[in-house]
Every structure is written in C-alpha cells, then in structure tokens.
C-alpha cells in the first residue's frame, strides 16, 4: 500500500514537473540590429529574436545537430524553406513589412522559434 502511495505522489510530481518544465518556460528575447547567428542544436538558440520593421535582417542558421528533424528550417510568413547543411552557415535575409510575432520551425514542425517584429 505504501508503495502505491509513493508511486502516486512521485507520479503526480513528475506530471507537474513535466508541465512546468516544457510548457511554462519563458523564452529570452534577443534584440537584433543587422544580423544574428542562430545555432541549430536541439532547438534554436537564440529562439526568440526581435527585429525592426522594414529593415533587412540577416538570420544566419548554423546547424550543429545531426538530427535530421532539424535539417530544414521553415519561415512560413516569409515563404522560406531552407535546407541546412551540417556545420555550415546558411543566411536567410528577411525584410518584415508588418509588426507582430512570426513563428518559424523545423521541417517537421517539432522545434520552434519566434521572430518578433517591432
């Protein structure tokens, strides 16, 4: 009986931890002026970049992760889908014309990043 109570308590704690760990994280926003290097390794770092409206900004993606899930990056609002060769810089230039938050992701939509335009 004791074991069942312990399993229940640990289980409930694990569920809460999972929720907090994955779903309550706060992303750090990085202010970008002209160009930013985004390292692709288990996700995007930095994964939230803030850029200026109407200004051409270079996003340099460097994939260091062998995971094929991350081999493509998709910026749907800017109509970009790019293959990222391993350990090589791929520059995507964007000139946002409106304010807002624009998400980008890997080709399978498993990893996410955000571009904030102000």
Footprint of another protein (CB under 8 A): 4, 7-8, 11-12, 14-15, 18-19, 21-23, 25, 41-45, 47, 62, 65-69, 74-83, 85-91, 107-112
Dihedral sign for Cα atoms in the order 66, 104, 35, 79: positive
Q: Which is nearer to another protein, 107 or 116 (CB)?
A: 107
What b/e sequence results for 84-94 when a residue is b if at least 16 CB atoms lie within 10 Å of its CB, and e otherwise?
beeeeebebeb
Residue closer to another protein by CB (options 4, 98) is 4
Q: How far is the CB of 78 from another protein (least distance, A)?
A: 8
Shorter beta-carbon distance to another protein: residue 31 or 69: 69
Exposed / middle / buried, residue 78 (Cβ in 10 Å: 0-12, 13-18, 19+): middle
The nearest distance, CB 99 to another protein, in angstroms, is 19
Least separation in angstroms between residue 76's CB and another protein is 3
Question: Least distance to another protein from the beta carbon of 32, Å?
Answer: 19
What is the phi/psi pair of residue 105, to 5°? Answer: -155, 175
52 contacts 68 by C-beta, under 8 angstroms: no
């Amino acid at each position: 009986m004791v074991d069942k109570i312990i399993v229940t308590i640990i289980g409930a704690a694990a569920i809460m931890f999972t929720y907090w760990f994955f779903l309550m994280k706060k992303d750090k926003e990085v202010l970008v002026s002209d160009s930013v290097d985004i390292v692709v390794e288990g996700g995007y770092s930095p994964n939230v970049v803030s850029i200026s409206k109407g200004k051409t900004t270079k996003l340099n993606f460097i994939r260091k992760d062998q995971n094929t899930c991350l081999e493509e990056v998709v910026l749907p609002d800017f109509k970009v889908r790019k293959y990222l060769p391993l350990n090589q810089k791929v520059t995507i230039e964007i000139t946002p014309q409106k304010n807002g938050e624009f998400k980008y992701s890997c080709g399978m939509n498993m990893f996410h990043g955000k571009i904030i335009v102000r």
